[in-house]
A and B are shown apart, each in its own frame.
Chain A
Amino acid sequence: MKPTFQIVQTTVAPPEAPPAHEPGGWWLCAQASDGRLLGALHGLPEQGRSRARCSFHFGRVVHSAPELGLYQVQTTLQLGHDATGEAELSGLFLSAAAEAPEAVADALLQAALARLADADTPASWVIAELPGWRDAAGCSPFWDGLVRHFLPPGSLDAADAAQRHGPAFSSHLGEMLPRELIHAAFLSPAAQQALGRCADSHTTWLSALQRAGFADWRHGRIEDGGPLLAAPRRAGERRR
Protein backbone atom coordinates (compact mmCIF):
# COMPACT_ATOMS: atom_id res chain seq x y z
CA MET A 1 0.00 0.00 0.00
CA LYS A 2 1.38 3.37 -0.97
CA PRO A 3 2.04 5.60 2.06
CA THR A 4 -0.31 8.52 2.32
CA PHE A 5 1.62 11.58 3.31
CA GLN A 6 2.94 14.67 1.65
CA ILE A 7 6.24 16.51 1.88
CA VAL A 8 5.91 20.16 2.83
CA GLN A 9 8.71 22.72 2.86
CA THR A 10 8.76 25.32 5.61
CA THR A 11 11.15 27.65 7.38
CA VAL A 12 9.58 26.98 10.74
CA ALA A 13 11.10 24.22 12.84
CA PRO A 14 8.57 21.60 13.86
CA PRO A 15 8.53 21.44 17.65
CA GLU A 16 8.81 17.65 17.68
CA ALA A 17 12.08 17.60 15.75
CA PRO A 18 15.54 18.10 17.21
CA PRO A 19 16.97 21.52 16.43
CA ALA A 20 18.71 22.30 13.17
CA HIS A 21 22.46 22.41 13.53
CA GLU A 22 22.63 25.92 12.13
CA PRO A 23 20.16 28.67 11.26
CA GLY A 24 19.02 29.28 7.68
CA GLY A 25 18.06 26.65 5.16
CA TRP A 26 14.67 25.01 5.21
CA TRP A 27 12.67 22.25 6.80
CA LEU A 28 10.90 19.44 5.04
CA CYS A 29 8.02 17.87 6.89
CA ALA A 30 6.22 14.66 6.07
CA GLN A 31 2.61 15.24 6.97
CA ALA A 32 -0.12 12.59 7.14
CA SER A 33 -3.40 13.34 5.47
CA ASP A 34 -4.82 14.19 8.88
CA GLY A 35 -2.04 16.74 9.43
CA ARG A 36 0.09 14.69 11.85
CA LEU A 37 3.83 15.14 11.54
CA LEU A 38 5.38 11.80 10.52
CA GLY A 39 8.92 12.97 9.97
CA ALA A 40 11.11 15.95 9.30
CA LEU A 41 14.59 17.07 8.43
CA HIS A 42 16.44 20.32 8.00
CA GLY A 43 18.43 21.15 4.88
CA LEU A 44 21.28 23.64 4.81
CA PRO A 45 23.08 24.44 1.55
CA GLU A 46 26.34 25.40 3.23
CA GLN A 47 27.32 24.56 6.78
CA GLY A 48 29.87 26.28 8.98
CA ARG A 49 28.79 29.84 8.19
CA SER A 50 27.46 30.54 11.68
CA ARG A 51 29.95 28.61 13.82
CA ALA A 52 32.95 26.32 13.65
CA ARG A 53 31.80 22.83 12.75
CA CYS A 54 34.10 20.27 14.29
CA SER A 55 34.50 16.60 13.55
CA PHE A 56 37.13 13.93 13.95
CA HIS A 57 38.55 12.54 10.75
CA PHE A 58 39.14 8.82 11.09
CA GLY A 59 42.35 8.12 9.21
CA ARG A 60 45.11 5.57 9.05
CA VAL A 61 48.84 5.68 9.53
CA VAL A 62 51.22 2.84 8.83
CA HIS A 63 54.01 2.12 11.28
CA SER A 64 56.57 0.10 9.46
CA ALA A 65 60.06 -1.19 10.22
CA PRO A 66 61.06 -3.37 7.29
CA GLU A 67 64.28 -4.47 8.99
CA LEU A 68 62.20 -6.03 11.77
CA GLY A 69 59.44 -7.34 9.57
CA LEU A 70 56.94 -5.24 11.50
CA TYR A 71 54.05 -3.54 9.79
CA GLN A 72 51.11 -2.01 11.62
CA VAL A 73 48.12 -0.08 10.41
CA GLN A 74 46.77 2.25 13.06
CA THR A 75 43.50 4.16 13.11
CA THR A 76 43.85 7.83 13.90
CA LEU A 77 41.57 10.70 14.83
CA GLN A 78 42.24 14.22 13.65
CA LEU A 79 40.11 17.10 14.86
CA GLY A 80 39.19 19.45 12.05
CA HIS A 81 36.50 21.42 10.30
CA ASP A 82 36.42 19.26 7.21
CA ALA A 83 32.68 19.50 6.68
CA THR A 84 32.73 23.29 6.52
CA GLY A 85 31.17 24.53 3.30
CA GLU A 86 29.37 21.29 2.58
CA ALA A 87 25.60 21.00 2.56
CA GLU A 88 23.96 19.36 5.55
CA LEU A 89 20.91 17.48 6.66
CA SER A 90 20.10 17.70 10.36
CA GLY A 91 17.09 17.80 12.63
CA LEU A 92 16.32 14.23 11.59
CA PHE A 93 12.99 13.19 13.05
CA LEU A 94 10.68 10.24 12.61
CA SER A 95 7.47 9.99 14.56
CA ALA A 96 7.01 6.85 16.60
CA ALA A 97 3.46 6.85 15.26
CA ALA A 98 4.57 6.66 11.63
CA GLU A 99 3.31 3.41 10.16
CA ALA A 100 6.04 3.22 7.54
CA PRO A 101 8.99 5.18 8.93
CA GLU A 102 11.36 3.86 6.22
CA ALA A 103 9.13 5.25 3.51
CA VAL A 104 8.86 8.59 5.32
CA ALA A 105 12.63 8.83 5.67
CA ASP A 106 13.18 7.82 2.04
CA ALA A 107 10.77 10.45 0.81
CA LEU A 108 12.24 13.18 2.96
CA LEU A 109 15.76 12.36 1.84
CA GLN A 110 14.82 12.20 -1.81
CA ALA A 111 13.12 15.59 -1.62
CA ALA A 112 15.97 17.14 0.34
CA LEU A 113 18.66 15.87 -2.00
CA ALA A 114 16.75 17.19 -4.99
CA ARG A 115 16.55 20.65 -3.43
CA LEU A 116 20.20 20.66 -2.45
CA ALA A 117 21.23 19.56 -5.95
CA ASP A 118 19.61 22.73 -7.27
CA ALA A 119 20.88 24.99 -4.52
CA ASP A 120 23.27 27.83 -5.21
CA THR A 121 26.11 26.57 -3.04
CA PRO A 122 29.75 25.64 -3.49
CA ALA A 123 29.15 22.42 -1.59
CA SER A 124 30.30 19.18 -3.18
CA TRP A 125 28.81 16.93 -0.55
CA VAL A 126 25.70 16.59 1.50
CA ILE A 127 26.61 15.58 5.04
CA ALA A 128 24.44 13.98 7.68
CA GLU A 129 25.58 13.41 11.25
CA LEU A 130 24.09 10.63 13.31
CA PRO A 131 24.39 10.42 17.07
CA GLY A 132 26.95 7.98 18.40
CA TRP A 133 26.35 4.69 20.11
CA ARG A 134 25.44 4.59 23.77
CA ASP A 135 25.38 1.74 26.21
CA ALA A 136 22.35 0.47 28.10
CA ALA A 137 22.82 3.18 30.70
CA GLY A 138 22.82 5.85 28.03
CA CYS A 139 26.54 6.58 28.39
CA SER A 140 28.78 7.22 25.41
CA PRO A 141 31.95 5.10 25.52
CA PHE A 142 33.54 7.63 23.21
CA TRP A 143 32.88 10.44 25.66
CA ASP A 144 34.17 8.35 28.55
CA GLY A 145 37.21 7.10 26.65
CA LEU A 146 38.30 10.34 25.05
CA VAL A 147 36.37 13.54 25.59
CA ARG A 148 36.18 13.58 29.36
CA HIS A 149 39.98 13.33 29.67
CA PHE A 150 40.28 16.82 28.22
CA LEU A 151 37.85 18.49 30.57
CA PRO A 152 38.36 19.39 34.21
CA PRO A 153 37.17 16.41 36.26
CA GLY A 154 33.49 16.58 37.05
CA SER A 155 33.11 19.92 35.30
CA LEU A 156 30.61 19.01 32.65
CA ASP A 157 27.69 16.66 32.22
CA ALA A 158 27.40 15.96 28.52
CA ALA A 159 23.62 15.71 28.43
CA ASP A 160 23.12 18.86 30.48
CA ALA A 161 25.62 20.81 28.40
CA ALA A 162 24.05 19.67 25.15
CA GLN A 163 20.65 20.71 26.45
CA ARG A 164 21.93 24.08 27.60
CA HIS A 165 23.98 25.00 24.54
CA GLY A 166 22.03 23.21 21.85
CA PRO A 167 23.85 22.25 18.64
CA ALA A 168 26.54 24.85 19.33
CA PHE A 169 27.75 22.63 22.16
CA SER A 170 29.95 20.68 19.77
CA SER A 171 31.66 23.89 18.63
CA HIS A 172 32.39 24.86 22.22
CA LEU A 173 33.56 21.35 22.98
CA GLY A 174 35.92 21.47 20.00
CA GLU A 175 37.82 24.25 21.72
CA MET A 176 38.71 21.84 24.50
CA LEU A 177 39.77 18.82 22.46
CA PRO A 178 43.23 17.94 21.11
CA ARG A 179 44.29 19.53 17.86
CA GLU A 180 46.96 16.94 17.14
CA LEU A 181 46.55 13.46 15.75
CA ILE A 182 45.27 10.87 18.22
CA HIS A 183 46.01 7.20 17.77
CA ALA A 184 42.86 5.22 18.42
CA ALA A 185 44.99 2.57 20.11
CA PHE A 186 45.21 4.85 23.13
CA LEU A 187 41.46 4.82 23.61
CA SER A 188 39.66 2.21 25.65
CA PRO A 189 38.42 -0.80 23.67
CA ALA A 190 34.84 0.38 24.17
CA ALA A 191 35.68 3.82 22.82
CA GLN A 192 37.43 2.29 19.82
CA GLN A 193 34.37 0.20 19.07
CA ALA A 194 32.22 3.31 19.23
CA LEU A 195 34.14 5.12 16.47
CA GLY A 196 31.65 5.85 13.71
CA ARG A 197 28.99 3.65 15.27
CA CYS A 198 25.44 4.95 15.07
CA ALA A 199 23.11 5.08 18.08
CA ASP A 200 20.51 2.33 18.12
CA SER A 201 17.84 5.04 18.11
CA HIS A 202 18.89 6.14 14.61
CA THR A 203 19.31 2.90 12.70
CA THR A 204 16.23 3.66 10.60
CA TRP A 205 17.84 6.91 9.46
CA LEU A 206 21.15 5.15 8.89
CA SER A 207 19.53 2.64 6.57
CA ALA A 208 17.55 5.32 4.78
CA LEU A 209 20.64 7.45 4.24
CA GLN A 210 22.47 4.46 2.81
CA ARG A 211 19.58 3.75 0.47
CA ALA A 212 19.71 7.38 -0.62
CA GLY A 213 23.35 7.04 -1.61
CA PHE A 214 25.05 8.24 1.56
CA ALA A 215 28.21 6.44 2.61
CA ASP A 216 30.57 6.55 5.55
CA TRP A 217 32.59 9.78 5.26
CA ARG A 218 35.27 8.52 7.69
CA HIS A 219 34.45 11.28 10.14
CA GLY A 220 32.82 11.17 13.54
CA ARG A 221 31.06 13.54 15.88
CA ILE A 222 33.38 14.94 18.49
CA GLU A 223 31.02 14.43 21.39
CA ASP A 224 30.12 10.78 20.90
CA GLY A 225 31.94 9.43 17.83
CA GLY A 226 28.72 9.10 15.86
CA PRO A 227 29.19 8.73 12.10
CA LEU A 228 29.12 11.43 9.45
CA LEU A 229 27.72 10.17 6.19
CA ALA A 230 28.06 11.90 2.86
CA ALA A 231 26.52 11.81 -0.58
CA PRO A 232 27.61 13.76 -3.65
CA ARG A 233 25.38 16.83 -3.82
CA ARG A 234 24.81 16.69 -7.58
CA ALA A 235 23.84 13.05 -7.44
CA GLY A 236 20.52 14.37 -6.19
CA GLU A 237 19.73 15.62 -9.67
CA ARG A 238 19.56 12.05 -10.94
CA ARG A 239 16.96 11.13 -8.38
CA ARG A 240 14.40 13.71 -9.49
Chain B
Amino acid sequence: MTPTHTLPTDLLLRPVAADDLDALQGLAAAAGPGIGSLREDRVGLGRRIEESLQAFAAEDEDTSGEERYLFVLQASGSESGSGSGSGLAPGRLLGCAGIAARSGYGSRFYSYRNEFIVASSAALGLTQRTHTLHLCHDLTGSSLLTSFYIVPGAPAAAAQLLSRARLLFLALHPQRFSDRIVAEFPGLLDADGASPFWDAIGRRFFGMDYPQAEALAGGRSKAFIAHLMPQSPLYVPLLPEAAQSAIGQLHPDGELPFQILIDEGFDADSYIDIFDGGPTAEGRLQALASVRAARPLAQLATQPNLACTRDRAGFRARLVAAGDAAADLGPQPLATPLQLPESV
Protein backbone atom coordinates (compact mmCIF):
# COMPACT_ATOMS: atom_id res chain seq x y z
CA MET B 1 0.00 0.00 0.00
CA THR B 2 1.20 3.51 -0.74
CA PRO B 3 1.96 5.16 2.59
CA THR B 4 -0.13 8.24 3.26
CA HIS B 5 2.84 10.34 4.23
CA THR B 6 4.36 9.99 0.73
CA LEU B 7 1.14 10.52 -1.15
CA PRO B 8 1.73 13.29 -3.72
CA THR B 9 -1.56 15.07 -3.21
CA ASP B 10 -0.38 18.12 -5.12
CA LEU B 11 -0.70 16.35 -8.45
CA LEU B 12 -3.79 17.39 -10.34
CA LEU B 13 -5.33 15.68 -13.32
CA ARG B 14 -7.38 18.02 -15.48
CA PRO B 15 -8.48 18.45 -19.11
CA VAL B 16 -5.79 19.81 -21.36
CA ALA B 17 -5.95 23.59 -21.92
CA ALA B 18 -5.00 25.74 -24.87
CA ASP B 19 -1.90 27.08 -23.16
CA ASP B 20 -0.59 23.58 -22.52
CA LEU B 21 0.65 23.29 -26.10
CA ASP B 22 4.33 23.93 -25.38
CA ALA B 23 4.40 21.56 -22.45
CA LEU B 24 2.42 18.95 -24.34
CA GLN B 25 4.86 19.13 -27.20
CA GLY B 26 7.63 18.52 -24.71
CA LEU B 27 5.87 15.43 -23.43
CA ALA B 28 5.32 14.16 -26.97
CA ALA B 29 9.00 14.66 -27.78
CA ALA B 30 9.99 12.71 -24.69
CA ALA B 31 7.47 9.96 -25.37
CA GLY B 32 9.20 8.90 -28.56
CA PRO B 33 7.66 7.08 -31.49
CA GLY B 34 6.19 4.19 -29.50
CA ILE B 35 3.02 6.05 -28.65
CA GLY B 36 1.32 6.47 -31.98
CA SER B 37 -1.44 8.65 -30.59
CA LEU B 38 1.03 11.19 -29.17
CA ARG B 39 3.31 12.48 -31.86
CA GLU B 40 5.63 15.43 -31.70
CA ASP B 41 3.71 17.40 -34.26
CA ARG B 42 2.88 20.87 -33.04
CA VAL B 43 0.09 21.40 -35.52
CA GLY B 44 -1.37 18.01 -34.74
CA LEU B 45 -1.07 18.55 -31.00
CA GLY B 46 -2.76 21.92 -31.33
CA ARG B 47 -5.60 20.26 -33.17
CA ARG B 48 -5.70 17.57 -30.52
CA ILE B 49 -6.08 20.20 -27.79
CA GLU B 50 -8.86 21.90 -29.72
CA GLU B 51 -10.68 18.60 -30.18
CA SER B 52 -10.40 17.91 -26.47
CA LEU B 53 -11.69 21.34 -25.53
CA GLN B 54 -14.68 20.76 -27.77
CA ALA B 55 -15.25 17.29 -26.37
CA PHE B 56 -15.28 18.42 -22.76
CA ALA B 57 -17.49 21.40 -23.60
CA ALA B 58 -20.03 19.48 -25.67
CA GLU B 59 -23.38 18.73 -24.15
CA ASP B 60 -24.38 15.09 -24.08
CA GLU B 61 -26.95 15.52 -26.83
CA ASP B 62 -24.31 17.03 -29.09
CA THR B 63 -21.87 14.12 -28.88
CA SER B 64 -21.48 11.67 -31.73
CA GLY B 65 -18.67 9.38 -30.65
CA GLU B 66 -16.08 11.37 -32.55
CA GLU B 67 -14.91 13.09 -29.39
CA ARG B 68 -11.34 12.75 -28.22
CA TYR B 69 -10.57 13.77 -24.66
CA LEU B 70 -7.10 14.59 -23.43
CA PHE B 71 -6.09 14.90 -19.78
CA VAL B 72 -2.87 16.23 -18.37
CA LEU B 73 -1.24 15.60 -15.01
CA GLN B 74 0.15 18.73 -13.41
CA ALA B 75 2.12 19.50 -10.31
CA SER B 76 -0.11 22.09 -8.68
CA GLY B 77 2.27 23.11 -5.92
CA SER B 78 -0.57 23.26 -3.43
CA GLU B 79 -0.58 20.36 -1.01
CA SER B 80 -3.99 19.22 0.03
CA GLY B 81 -5.23 17.50 3.13
CA SER B 82 -2.72 15.48 5.07
CA GLY B 83 -0.74 14.38 2.05
CA SER B 84 2.65 15.49 0.89
CA GLY B 85 3.94 17.41 -2.04
CA SER B 86 5.56 15.76 -5.01
CA GLY B 87 8.51 18.07 -4.83
CA LEU B 88 7.96 19.00 -8.44
CA ALA B 89 7.89 22.52 -9.75
CA PRO B 90 4.37 23.95 -9.68
CA GLY B 91 2.73 24.05 -13.08
CA ARG B 92 4.94 21.39 -14.61
CA LEU B 93 3.14 18.79 -16.70
CA LEU B 94 4.11 15.28 -15.71
CA GLY B 95 2.09 13.36 -18.22
CA CYS B 96 -0.98 13.00 -20.34
CA ALA B 97 -3.62 10.43 -21.14
CA GLY B 98 -6.59 10.39 -23.45
CA ILE B 99 -9.86 8.79 -24.35
CA ALA B 100 -11.33 8.40 -27.82
CA ALA B 101 -15.06 8.06 -27.34
CA ARG B 102 -15.52 5.50 -30.12
CA SER B 103 -12.65 3.66 -31.76
CA GLY B 104 -12.65 3.66 -35.53
CA TYR B 105 -15.23 6.43 -35.58
CA GLY B 106 -16.56 6.87 -39.10
CA SER B 107 -14.47 3.96 -40.32
CA ARG B 108 -13.29 0.68 -38.85
CA PHE B 109 -10.92 -0.17 -36.05
CA TYR B 110 -8.76 -3.07 -37.11
CA SER B 111 -7.14 -5.67 -34.90
CA TYR B 112 -5.85 -9.17 -35.25
CA ARG B 113 -7.82 -11.61 -33.14
CA ASN B 114 -6.00 -14.65 -31.80
CA GLU B 115 -7.74 -17.88 -32.66
CA PHE B 116 -6.80 -21.51 -32.74
CA ILE B 117 -7.95 -24.15 -35.16
CA VAL B 118 -7.58 -27.87 -34.67
CA ALA B 119 -6.98 -30.20 -37.59
CA SER B 120 -7.21 -33.94 -37.28
CA SER B 121 -6.77 -36.95 -39.50
CA ALA B 122 -7.89 -40.29 -38.13
CA ALA B 123 -6.15 -42.11 -40.96
CA LEU B 124 -2.82 -40.47 -40.21
CA GLY B 125 -3.38 -40.58 -36.47
CA LEU B 126 -2.55 -36.88 -36.18
CA THR B 127 -4.09 -33.90 -34.44
CA GLN B 128 -2.59 -30.45 -34.62
CA ARG B 129 -3.60 -27.14 -33.02
CA THR B 130 -2.64 -24.12 -35.09
CA HIS B 131 -2.51 -20.50 -33.98
CA THR B 132 -4.13 -18.09 -36.42
CA LEU B 133 -4.59 -14.33 -36.57
CA HIS B 134 -7.85 -12.99 -37.94
CA LEU B 135 -8.07 -9.44 -39.20
CA CYS B 136 -11.23 -8.11 -37.60
CA HIS B 137 -13.28 -5.05 -36.70
CA ASP B 138 -14.48 -6.47 -33.38
CA LEU B 139 -13.35 -3.48 -31.36
CA THR B 140 -14.88 -0.82 -33.59
CA GLY B 141 -17.06 1.46 -31.50
CA SER B 142 -15.32 0.64 -28.23
CA SER B 143 -14.00 3.50 -26.18
CA LEU B 144 -10.26 3.73 -26.54
CA LEU B 145 -7.73 4.70 -23.89
CA THR B 146 -4.95 6.54 -25.68
CA SER B 147 -1.88 8.72 -25.36
CA PHE B 148 -0.66 7.59 -21.96
CA TYR B 149 2.69 9.06 -21.11
CA ILE B 150 4.26 9.97 -17.79
CA VAL B 151 7.70 11.43 -17.28
CA PRO B 152 10.37 9.07 -15.96
CA GLY B 153 10.81 9.27 -12.22
CA ALA B 154 7.29 10.45 -11.50
CA PRO B 155 5.84 9.02 -8.28
CA ALA B 156 4.25 5.61 -8.75
CA ALA B 157 0.93 6.88 -7.49
CA ALA B 158 0.99 9.54 -10.20
CA ALA B 159 0.78 6.89 -12.90
CA GLN B 160 -2.18 5.35 -11.10
CA LEU B 161 -3.89 8.73 -11.01
CA LEU B 162 -3.16 9.46 -14.65
CA SER B 163 -4.47 6.17 -15.96
CA ARG B 164 -7.29 5.31 -13.61
CA ALA B 165 -8.90 8.74 -13.33
CA ARG B 166 -9.97 8.17 -16.90
CA LEU B 167 -11.97 5.17 -15.77
CA LEU B 168 -13.82 7.28 -13.24
CA PHE B 169 -14.53 9.84 -15.96
CA LEU B 170 -15.93 7.07 -18.15
CA ALA B 171 -18.06 5.83 -15.29
CA LEU B 172 -19.42 9.30 -14.59
CA HIS B 173 -20.44 9.89 -18.23
CA PRO B 174 -21.52 6.51 -19.58
CA GLN B 175 -23.86 8.01 -22.14
CA ARG B 176 -20.83 9.33 -24.03
CA PHE B 177 -18.88 6.11 -24.18
CA SER B 178 -19.07 2.44 -24.91
CA ASP B 179 -19.09 0.04 -21.99
CA ARG B 180 -16.34 -1.83 -23.80
CA ILE B 181 -12.99 -0.20 -23.11
CA VAL B 182 -9.90 -0.87 -25.19
CA ALA B 183 -6.26 0.17 -24.99
CA GLU B 184 -3.46 -0.56 -27.43
CA PHE B 185 0.10 -1.03 -26.25
CA PRO B 186 3.35 -0.79 -28.17
CA GLY B 187 4.78 -4.05 -29.45
CA LEU B 188 8.24 -5.48 -29.31
CA LEU B 189 11.02 -3.93 -31.39
CA ASP B 190 14.43 -5.40 -32.08
CA ALA B 191 17.74 -3.77 -31.21
CA ASP B 192 17.60 -1.73 -34.41
CA GLY B 193 14.14 -0.42 -33.62
CA ALA B 194 12.50 -2.58 -36.25
CA SER B 195 9.33 -4.51 -35.58
CA PRO B 196 9.76 -8.21 -36.37
CA PHE B 197 6.00 -8.53 -36.60
CA TRP B 198 5.70 -5.74 -39.12
CA ASP B 199 8.62 -6.98 -41.15
CA ALA B 200 7.01 -10.41 -41.45
CA ILE B 201 3.51 -9.24 -42.29
CA GLY B 202 2.90 -5.59 -42.97
CA ARG B 203 6.02 -4.98 -44.99
CA ARG B 204 5.09 -7.72 -47.44
CA PHE B 205 1.89 -5.93 -48.30
CA PHE B 206 2.64 -2.33 -47.50
CA GLY B 207 6.10 -1.90 -48.92
CA MET B 208 7.49 0.43 -46.25
CA ASP B 209 9.07 0.47 -42.83
CA TYR B 210 6.97 0.22 -39.72
CA PRO B 211 7.70 3.77 -38.50
CA GLN B 212 6.64 5.15 -41.87
CA ALA B 213 3.43 3.21 -41.83
CA GLU B 214 2.69 4.07 -38.25
CA ALA B 215 3.30 7.74 -38.94
CA LEU B 216 0.83 7.58 -41.80
CA ALA B 217 -1.70 5.81 -39.62
CA GLY B 218 -1.14 8.30 -36.83
CA GLY B 219 -2.55 11.01 -38.96
CA ARG B 220 -5.17 8.94 -40.71
CA SER B 221 -7.44 6.03 -40.12
CA LYS B 222 -5.80 2.66 -39.75
CA ALA B 223 -8.41 1.33 -42.12
CA PHE B 224 -6.44 2.43 -45.13
CA ILE B 225 -3.57 0.20 -44.09
CA ALA B 226 -5.89 -2.74 -43.72
CA HIS B 227 -6.76 -2.38 -47.39
CA LEU B 228 -3.29 -3.75 -48.08
CA MET B 229 -3.33 -6.50 -45.49
CA PRO B 230 -4.52 -10.05 -46.13
CA GLN B 231 -8.19 -10.38 -45.32
CA SER B 232 -7.85 -14.10 -44.71
CA PRO B 233 -6.46 -15.52 -41.46
CA LEU B 234 -2.72 -15.60 -40.99
CA TYR B 235 -1.30 -18.96 -40.07
CA VAL B 236 1.22 -18.15 -37.39
CA PRO B 237 3.48 -21.18 -38.00
CA LEU B 238 4.25 -19.76 -41.44
CA LEU B 239 5.74 -16.60 -39.92
CA PRO B 240 9.44 -16.28 -39.04
CA GLU B 241 10.21 -17.21 -35.46
CA ALA B 242 11.02 -13.63 -34.51
CA ALA B 243 7.58 -12.52 -35.65
CA GLN B 244 5.88 -15.39 -33.87
CA SER B 245 7.69 -14.46 -30.68
CA ALA B 246 6.59 -10.84 -31.01
CA ILE B 247 2.86 -11.64 -31.08
CA GLY B 248 1.25 -10.05 -28.06
CA GLN B 249 4.61 -9.03 -26.63
CA LEU B 250 4.88 -5.68 -24.94
CA HIS B 251 7.52 -3.04 -25.55
CA PRO B 252 9.20 -2.17 -22.24
CA ASP B 253 7.92 1.40 -22.56
CA GLY B 254 4.40 0.10 -22.18
CA GLU B 255 4.89 -1.99 -19.09
CA LEU B 256 3.68 0.55 -16.56
CA PRO B 257 0.36 1.53 -18.17
CA PHE B 258 -0.17 -2.06 -19.27
CA GLN B 259 0.17 -3.41 -15.75
CA ILE B 260 -2.19 -0.77 -14.38
CA LEU B 261 -4.91 -1.91 -16.76
CA ILE B 262 -4.22 -5.59 -16.23
CA ASP B 263 -4.62 -4.98 -12.51
CA GLU B 264 -7.97 -3.41 -13.35
CA GLY B 265 -9.08 -6.65 -14.96
CA PHE B 266 -8.40 -5.95 -18.62
CA ASP B 267 -7.88 -8.98 -20.85
CA ALA B 268 -4.88 -8.80 -23.16
CA ASP B 269 -4.91 -12.25 -24.71
CA SER B 270 -7.50 -11.88 -27.43
CA TYR B 271 -6.40 -9.04 -29.70
CA ILE B 272 -3.16 -7.59 -31.01
CA ASP B 273 -2.20 -4.54 -32.99
CA ILE B 274 -2.04 -5.03 -36.74
CA PHE B 275 1.16 -2.97 -36.99
CA ASP B 276 3.56 -4.35 -34.44
CA GLY B 277 1.70 -7.22 -32.80
CA GLY B 278 1.56 -5.43 -29.45
CA PRO B 279 -1.22 -6.42 -27.08
CA THR B 280 -4.60 -4.75 -27.21
CA ALA B 281 -6.28 -4.88 -23.83
CA GLU B 282 -10.04 -4.81 -23.47
CA GLY B 283 -12.45 -4.79 -20.60
CA ARG B 284 -16.04 -4.02 -19.66
CA LEU B 285 -16.24 -0.75 -17.81
CA GLN B 286 -18.50 -1.97 -15.01
CA ALA B 287 -16.22 -4.96 -14.42
CA LEU B 288 -13.05 -2.90 -13.97
CA ALA B 289 -11.71 -2.86 -10.44
CA SER B 290 -11.63 0.92 -10.04
CA VAL B 291 -15.20 1.27 -11.25
CA ARG B 292 -16.51 -1.58 -9.12
CA ALA B 293 -14.85 -0.07 -6.06
CA ALA B 294 -15.94 3.50 -6.82
CA ARG B 295 -17.94 5.18 -4.05
CA PRO B 296 -18.58 8.66 -2.77
CA LEU B 297 -15.36 9.73 -1.13
CA ALA B 298 -17.02 9.96 2.27
CA GLN B 299 -17.53 6.20 2.21
CA LEU B 300 -13.86 5.49 1.60
CA ALA B 301 -12.38 8.07 3.92
CA THR B 302 -10.21 5.68 5.93
CA GLN B 303 -7.74 5.01 3.13
CA PRO B 304 -5.79 6.86 0.44
CA ASN B 305 -7.96 7.36 -2.58
CA LEU B 306 -8.04 8.58 -6.07
CA ALA B 307 -10.93 11.04 -6.24
CA CYS B 308 -12.52 13.28 -8.83
CA THR B 309 -15.16 15.87 -9.39
CA ARG B 310 -18.46 14.82 -10.88
CA ASP B 311 -18.72 17.54 -13.48
CA ARG B 312 -17.48 17.16 -17.01
CA ALA B 313 -16.02 20.39 -18.30
CA GLY B 314 -14.39 21.19 -15.00
CA PHE B 315 -13.22 17.65 -14.37
CA ARG B 316 -10.44 17.36 -11.82
CA ALA B 317 -8.91 14.36 -10.12
CA ARG B 318 -6.21 13.96 -7.52
CA LEU B 319 -4.89 11.67 -4.90
CA VAL B 320 -6.56 12.12 -1.55
CA ALA B 321 -5.07 11.07 1.75
CA ALA B 322 -7.10 9.19 4.34
CA GLY B 323 -9.41 11.53 6.19
CA ASP B 324 -9.19 14.29 3.59
CA ALA B 325 -12.67 15.46 2.56
CA ALA B 326 -11.24 16.98 -0.65
CA ALA B 327 -13.48 20.00 -0.58
CA ASP B 328 -11.67 21.34 -3.64
CA LEU B 329 -13.24 18.53 -5.70
CA GLY B 330 -16.76 19.81 -5.23
CA PRO B 331 -19.74 18.15 -3.63
CA GLN B 332 -19.56 14.39 -3.11
CA PRO B 333 -16.38 13.58 -5.03
CA LEU B 334 -16.30 10.14 -6.58
CA ALA B 335 -13.43 8.05 -5.29
CA THR B 336 -11.82 4.69 -5.68
CA PRO B 337 -9.14 3.21 -3.44
CA LEU B 338 -5.62 3.96 -4.56
CA GLN B 339 -4.67 0.47 -3.55
CA LEU B 340 -7.21 -1.87 -5.02
CA PRO B 341 -8.13 -4.92 -2.99
CA GLU B 342 -7.26 -8.29 -4.46
CA SER B 343 -10.90 -8.94 -5.20
CA VAL B 344 -13.27 -6.01 -5.32
Residues of chain A whose beta carbon lies under 8 Å from any beta carbon of chain B: 61, 63-65, 67-68, 70, 72, 74, 76, 146, 149-152, 155-156, 161, 165, 168, 172-173, 175-178, 180-183, 185-187
Contacts and interface: CB of A to CB of B under 8 A. Distances in A.
Interface stretch (B105-113, B115-123, B146-154, B275-283): B115-123
Contacts of A187: 238
B204 interface: yes
Interface of A is mostly: mixed
Which 8 A-B pairs have CB atoms at the shortest separation, nearest pair first?
A181-B232, A149-B237, A175-B121, A172-B123, A186-B238, A63-B228, A185-B204, A176-B119
Contacts of A152: 126-128
B237 A65 contact: no
A178 B130 contact: yes
Contacts of B227: 63-65
Given A67-B224, A72-B205, A176-B124, A183 B230 contact: yes
A76 B205 CA distance: 13
Contacts of A146: 238
Interface of B: 117, 119-121, 123-124, 126-128, 130, 132, 204-207, 216, 224-225, 227-230, 232-235, 237-239
Nearest to B238: A186
Nearest to B225: A65
Given A72-B205, A178-B130, A185-B204, A149 B224 contact: no
B234 A186 contact: yes
B121 A72 contact: no
A187 B237 CA distance: 10
A102 to B, nearest CB: 38
Contacts of B206: 70
A35 to B, nearest CB: 39
13 contacts: A72-B207, A149-B237, A150-B130, A151-B128, A168-B123, A173-B124, A177-B119, A178-B235, A182-B235, A182-B238, A183-B232, A186-B204, A186-B235
A182 to B, nearest CB: 7
Contacts of A168: 123
A155 B119 CA distance: 14
B106 to A, nearest CB: 16
A176 B123 contact: no
A85 to B, nearest CB: 23
Among B117, B121, B132, B238, max chain A CB count under 10 A is at B238
